[in-house]
Chain A
């Protein structure tokens, strides 16, 4: 082996010399022979010709010598490549189909893998990101798994835990920032001073926070994100030291972050906890139940996650003992730790893995398809190959030739695939961003390219080797017997099993896509409980430091709503705490508040009554067409001076009063200090998206409980046409408001379906791809069968078979394979579809309708794919067919 390699290399080095030597050697031979002939008495010219004659073709001999000597390895490779190119170029249709099929398969995998790699595999872009752990409090009895910490709790954990080097506090708020230009509503990370140090983030400009920035009374400091700095300050390097107005006090910019993905969320600016007016207020600091901050930290070296969990569990038990009032049994209390990476990717993981698996299956189908194409291609070239074999080409050489062709195809497919992937990647990034902030890290980098290279090579070997192995032996026999050989039958079997597996895998993919479609349809059919058509929504964010009394808020919105109502095109307008299906609400879940019901005592071990608390002005219900079930809506008369009232939704009426009439009953939100009289029951609303059950809801009138930020306007026309005039009305009422989320309510509702819709689209795309490739494969197999059985078909027709019988015979052959494939696919789908369960809404993974529909689609498509080439068979002229072989 080594000797061979050595000789090969040596002969490349010495290649020119070898060529010269070969020439000299053969010339010597011919001269000697010529001289011998002259000695025998022939004239010189005759002697030379006689010498050449007895030698044979000099060029052929040289060729064979080159083949025999070590030059052949690399020479042959080059020859194979050139030959491969020629063969591929000579069959542009085959090459094009194979390239496209491979490019789609490899491209899909490259794109999905770049997402999987960026989100799930790539190490976090932080200093030893694997040591960073997120903490979560839980109230299991109340079904809450993600309870933030109160400042008191955080301080206790800080003091008592032995597992963390340090704990970091984080929460995000929105404030209005008055800097250069218009007032900007900025998302603000409110963090402890060690936030950036624990993450290991170094500033691009200036510095990050120091302990003294978080001291009480320190000057408010801001760190800007790279994106915000670029967009709002044009990347001005002199920004550090500038004072920006926020929350009625100056904030000094101390630094700018580098361009890195931010965790846990993207923020425009960061401030220390002491600069946040809410976080630094006494009622937050002193109240153990004011839970609003997230906590994460870096484990001490050598401390495992399990040790840290045990440590925290111990502290949690101590809390329960020392402050039973804050941790009622009815809610339960626990604390959980999760690595930052898991925390950031847990929502995305199942979806991405399903997509990767799907893409992998598509690639397998592509492989099987191209292998079949190659095989067909090979069967047509059988005689050529046999002749080459007869002329002395070794079987290994022929296999190498085939592998070279498949490698060329796979490489081409890989390159095209990367282009496909690069073109479609931004869609996937937008998709992934719905699940994880890591989406920002997705790119086609060296690792992704390496992955593509590897799958291209594996693909090439897979679809190249199968046909090559099928050629095993009996090449010579095909000359003698004209194709109808045992090897031919083996190849047919291989082709058939490749086809069956394509059908089976396609079936599985179609079932996956079908189930997702069914689920999406179900989601779309969900009655949201309101009518989003014709409604415009926007968030009006007040400079809250100026609105510190409820009357001011009430006054602002009362004036604004009145002004908007008088505008042309507006049929009704209202203010509310939020609007249905608001993304913030979806992210954070119901705003549940404890409720006392008059005359009803709740034991200490019973669950506390809770309801999602909402504020609405009288026209809110009319504006979103939320139906009244019983009693009355709020009216203008329900103001601050009149009786305190409330509305409840149907669910709450059912859960709390069963068969009794809740109207006239009293509830309290403040442990019985004030009582609200229930005046009506309204319909349930899918507040948090169509896939979530409606919770118990309680509405209070805006005039009695001023608060909220959502402005809703109903119009008979296009809601967006009112956007500008409404915003102007808001600015006229108070120029310092910041307006966000200006959108049609229909668009808001559509947004809630964006993720399942995109997932469905992707799965449909993959399944469609698989079906197309497979259908083409079926048609190809039948077409080849027709061309190979010309003889037999001719005989049958000569014997009087009708065209219909011939077509049926051929179609049946294809359908038999397809049915077989569907049967296998059925087993596979039943085994695999439960993986999708988490993504399905109101559809069983074994949904009969989906299975029936998919089988039907697949078999009908396959029947057409069989019929079209089979029909050509009837055009065969029996006489010509019989002469064909």
Chain B
């Protein structure tokens, strides 16, 4: 647990959720696990904050949800990306790359 953790930038959580769901439908806990795993524990997600984000994304029509059985045969709410969500993800990814490239350039320059 000695790893340094970074706070999540505002708005990035939404993008990470969309990205996670782009692979497969997933329940809330699963999304949290996956983000942690893939980021190798660098990103410090407050697990609770995941859910309001999910509700917000659903309200915006980027994801939708349905109840299904989990691996251990329990009822879980699964989220999956909608077409609008896919478009949104593409856009946000592009944005992100442009901005991070710009920031990286500035940091290199100094």
Q: Which residues of A does B touch, CB under 8 Å?
A: 3-4, 7, 21, 24-26, 28-29, 31-33, 36, 54-58, 60-61, 64-65, 67-70
A99 to B28, CA, bound (A): 50
User: In the complex the two chains form, is A55's CB within 8 Å of B47's CB?
Assistant: yes
Q: Does B11 contact A (CB under 8 A)?
A: no
A69 to B77, CA, bound (A): 15
User: In the complex the two chains form, is B48's CB within 8 Å of A58's CB?
Assistant: yes
A228 to B96, CA, bound (A): 89
By a CB distance below 8 angstroms, the chain B residues around A60 are 48
User: In the complex the two chains form, is B48's CB within 8 Å of A56's CB?
Assistant: yes
4 closest A-B pairs by CB: A56-B48, A64-B52, A68-B55, A61-B48
User: In the complex the two chains form, is B59's CB within 8 Å of A68's CB?
Assistant: yes
A24 to B75, CA, bound (A): 9
Q: Closest residue of chain A to B55, judged by CB?
A: A68
User: In the complex the two chains form, is A57's CB within 8 Å of B48's CB?
Assistant: yes
User: In the complex the two chains form, is A29's CB within 8 Å of B28's CB?
Assistant: yes
User: In the complex the two chains form, is B29's CB within 8 Å of A61's CB?
Assistant: no
Q: Mark B70-102, 1 if CB is under 8 A from A, else 0.
A: 100011110000000000000000000000000
By a CB distance below 8 angstroms, the chain B residues around A26 are 51
Q: Closest residue of chain B to A25, judged by CB?
A: B77
Q: Does B56 contact A (CB under 8 A)?
A: yes
Q: Mark B22-58, 1 if CB is under 8 A from A, else 0.
A: 0000011100110000000000001111011111101
User: In the complex the two chains form, is A56's CB within 8 Å of B61's CB?
Assistant: no
Given contacts A64-B52, A68-B52, A69-B55, contact A3 B61 (CB under 8 A): yes
By a CB distance below 8 angstroms, the chain B residues around A3 are 61
A64 to B70, CA, bound (A): 25
By a CB distance below 8 angstroms, the chain A residues around B58 are 69
User: In the complex the two chains form, is B47's CB within 8 Å of A25's CB?
Assistant: no
Q: Closest residue of chain A to B45, judged by CB?
A: A54
User: In the complex the two chains form, is B55's CB within 8 Å of A65's CB?
Assistant: yes
Q: Closest residue of chain A to B46, judged by CB?
A: A56
The smallest beta-carbon distance between A42 and chain B, in angstroms, is: 14
By a CB distance below 8 angstroms, the chain B residues around A28 are 27-29, 70, 74-77
By a CB distance below 8 angstroms, the chain A residues around B32 are 29
What are 25 sample pairs from A and B whose C-beta atoms fall under 8 A apart? A24-B75, A25-B27, A26-B51, A28-B70, A29-B32, A29-B47, A33-B29, A33-B47, A36-B33, A55-B46, A56-B46, A56-B48, A56-B49, A60-B48, A61-B48, A61-B52, A64-B51, A65-B51, A65-B52, A65-B54, A65-B55, A68-B56, A69-B55, A69-B58, A70-B59
By a CB distance below 8 angstroms, the chain B residues around A64 are 51-52, 55
A21 to B51, CA, bound (A): 12
The smallest beta-carbon distance between A564 and chain B, in angstroms, is: 93
- Count of interface residues, chain B, beta-carbon cutoff 8 Å: 24
User: In the complex the two chains form, is B51's CB within 8 Å of A61's CB?
Assistant: yes
Given contacts A3-B61, A32-B29, A56-B46, contact A25 B51 (CB under 8 A): yes
A29 to B29, CA, bound (A): 5
The smallest beta-carbon distance between A669 and chain B, in angstroms, is: 95
The smallest beta-carbon distance between A68 and chain B, in angstroms, is: 4
A32 to B51, CA, bound (A): 15
The smallest beta-carbon distance between B52 and chain A, in angstroms, is: 4
A60 to B47, CA, bound (A): 12
The smallest beta-carbon distance between B63 and chain A, in angstroms, is: 12
A58 to B51, CA, bound (A): 10
The smallest beta-carbon distance between B91 and chain A, in angstroms, is: 20
| Inter-chain CB contacts under 8 Å: number | 65
Q: Closest residue of chain A to B56, judged by CB?
A: A68
By a CB distance below 8 angstroms, the chain A residues around B55 are 64-65, 68-69
Q: Closest residue of chain B to A53, judged by CB?
A: B47
By a CB distance below 8 angstroms, the chain A residues around B54 are 65
By a CB distance below 8 angstroms, the chain A residues around B53 are 68
User: In the complex the two chains form, is B46's CB within 8 Å of A21's CB?
Assistant: no
A64 to B52, CA, bound (A): 6
By a CB distance below 8 angstroms, the chain B residues around A33 are 29, 47
User: In the complex the two chains form, is B75's CB within 8 Å of A69's CB?
Assistant: no
User: In the complex the two chains form, is A67's CB within 8 Å of B52's CB?
Assistant: yes
User: In the complex the two chains form, is B49's CB within 8 Å of A61's CB?
Assistant: yes
A814 to B100, CA, bound (A): 55
A21 to B56, CA, bound (A): 16
By a CB distance below 8 angstroms, the chain B residues around A25 are 27-28, 51, 76-77
Q: Kindly identify which residue among A21, A32, A68 contacts B77, using a CB–CB cutoff of 8 Å.
A: A21
A204 to B102, CA, bound (A): 91
By a CB distance below 8 angstroms, the chain A residues around B76 are 25, 28
Given contacts A65-B55, A68-B59, contact A54 B47 (CB under 8 A): yes
By a CB distance below 8 angstroms, the chain B residues around A36 are 33
Q: Closest residue of chain B to A7, judged by CB?
A: B59
User: In the complex the two chains form, is B59's CB within 8 Å of A69's CB?
Assistant: yes
Given contacts A29-B29, A33-B29, contact A56 B56 (CB under 8 A): no
By a CB distance below 8 angstroms, the chain B residues around A69 are 55, 58-59
By a CB distance below 8 angstroms, the chain B residues around A24 are 75, 77
A36 to B51, CA, bound (A): 19
A68 to B77, CA, bound (A): 17
The smallest beta-carbon distance between B85 and chain A, in angstroms, is: 15
Q: Closest residue of chain A to B76, judged by CB?
A: A28
The smallest beta-carbon distance between A644 and chain B, in angstroms, is: 103
A33 to B75, CA, bound (A): 15
Q: Closest residue of chain B to A67, judged by CB?
A: B52
A29 to B61, CA, bound (A): 23
The smallest beta-carbon distance between A108 and chain B, in angstroms, is: 46
The smallest beta-carbon distance between B100 and chain A, in angstroms, is: 26
The smallest beta-carbon distance between A390 and chain B, in angstroms, is: 14
By a CB distance below 8 angstroms, the chain A residues around B70 are 28
A359 to B70, CA, bound (A): 69
Contacts A28-B28, A69-B58 known; list 4 others, CB within 8 Å. A7-B59, A24-B77, A28-B76, A61-B48
By a CB distance below 8 angstroms, the chain A residues around B33 are 36
Q: Closest residue of chain A to B28, judged by CB?
A: A29
Instruction: Pick the most buried of B27, B47, B54: most chain A CB atoms within 10 A of its CB.
Output: B47
By a CB distance below 8 angstroms, the chain B residues around A70 are 59
A29 to B46, CA, bound (A): 13
By a CB distance below 8 angstroms, the chain B residues around A54 are 46-47
A31 to B47, CA, bound (A): 13
By a CB distance below 8 angstroms, the chain A residues around B28 are 25, 28-29
By a CB distance below 8 angstroms, the chain B residues around A67 are 52
Q: Closest residue of chain B to A66, judged by CB?
A: B55
Q: Closest residue of chain B to A24, judged by CB?
A: B75
Instruction: Pick the most buried of A7, A55, A60, A70: most chain B CB atoms within 10 A of its CB.
Output: A55
B1-37 contacts to A, CB under 8 A, are: 27-29, 32-33
By a CB distance below 8 angstroms, the chain A residues around B52 are 61, 64-65, 67-68
A551 to B76, CA, bound (A): 115
The smallest beta-carbon distance between B48 and chain A, in angstroms, is: 3
By a CB distance below 8 angstroms, the chain A residues around B49 are 56, 61
By a CB distance below 8 angstroms, the chain A residues around B67 are 21
A54 to B33, CA, bound (A): 12
A7 to B74, CA, bound (A): 28
A155 to B32, CA, bound (A): 100
Q: Closest residue of chain A to B53, judged by CB?
A: A68
A28 to B91, CA, bound (A): 32
The smallest beta-carbon distance between A525 and chain B, in angstroms, is: 75
A65 to B59, CA, bound (A): 10
Instruction: Pick the most buried of A4, A57, A68, A69: most chain B CB atoms within 10 A of its CB.
Output: A68
The smallest beta-carbon distance between A95 and chain B, in angstroms, is: 34
A67 to B55, CA, bound (A): 9
Instruction: Pick the most buried of A3, A56, A60: most chain B CB atoms within 10 A of its CB.
Output: A56
The smallest beta-carbon distance between A35 and chain B, in angstroms, is: 8
By a CB distance below 8 angstroms, the chain A residues around B61 are 3
The smallest beta-carbon distance between B60 and chain A, in angstroms, is: 9
By a CB distance below 8 angstroms, the chain B residues around A7 are 59
A36 to B71, CA, bound (A): 14
A41 to B32, CA, bound (A): 20
A166 to B51, CA, bound (A): 81
The smallest beta-carbon distance between B51 and chain A, in angstroms, is: 5
The smallest beta-carbon distance between B24 and chain A, in angstroms, is: 17
The smallest beta-carbon distance between A397 and chain B, in angstroms, is: 15
